[in-house]
Amino acid sequence: MRGLNTRVAYARAVVLAVIDDEKGAEAINDAFFDAEFVGYHDYCAGTFEVPAMIRDVPLLAHGWEYGQEKAAEAKIAKLKDEWTKTEGVEQ
């Protein structure tokens, strides 16, 4: 199920934050980056809906959306690069 591992990592991080502020904050940050990775991967796979498992956690949903944005930017950069390479070539 998409986003399950990210949601579990986030839940563990929240519990850890109660025990140790510093380690908990790091773990929550890691969960954000996991969500970003899922968003990037989903964009590349043609999936544009936030996974149900992370949809109700604003931090994770934001991370996922950020990953989608980064993937879109990477795609645009690749297309620009390809266009630039073919622009000078006579057909």
Instruction: For the full predicted model, state whether its pTM sits above 0.85.
Output: yes
What residue spans define the domains of the chain? Answer: 4-87
Alpha-carbon span 47 to 36, nearest angstrom: 14
φ, ψ of residue 64 to 5 degrees: the values are: -60, -45
Whether the Cβ atoms of residue 42 and residue 3 lie closer than 8 Å to each other: no
> Looking at residue 89, what is its pLDDT?
53
Mean pLDDT by 10 residues, the chain (91 residues): 96 97 97 98 97 98 98 93 72 48
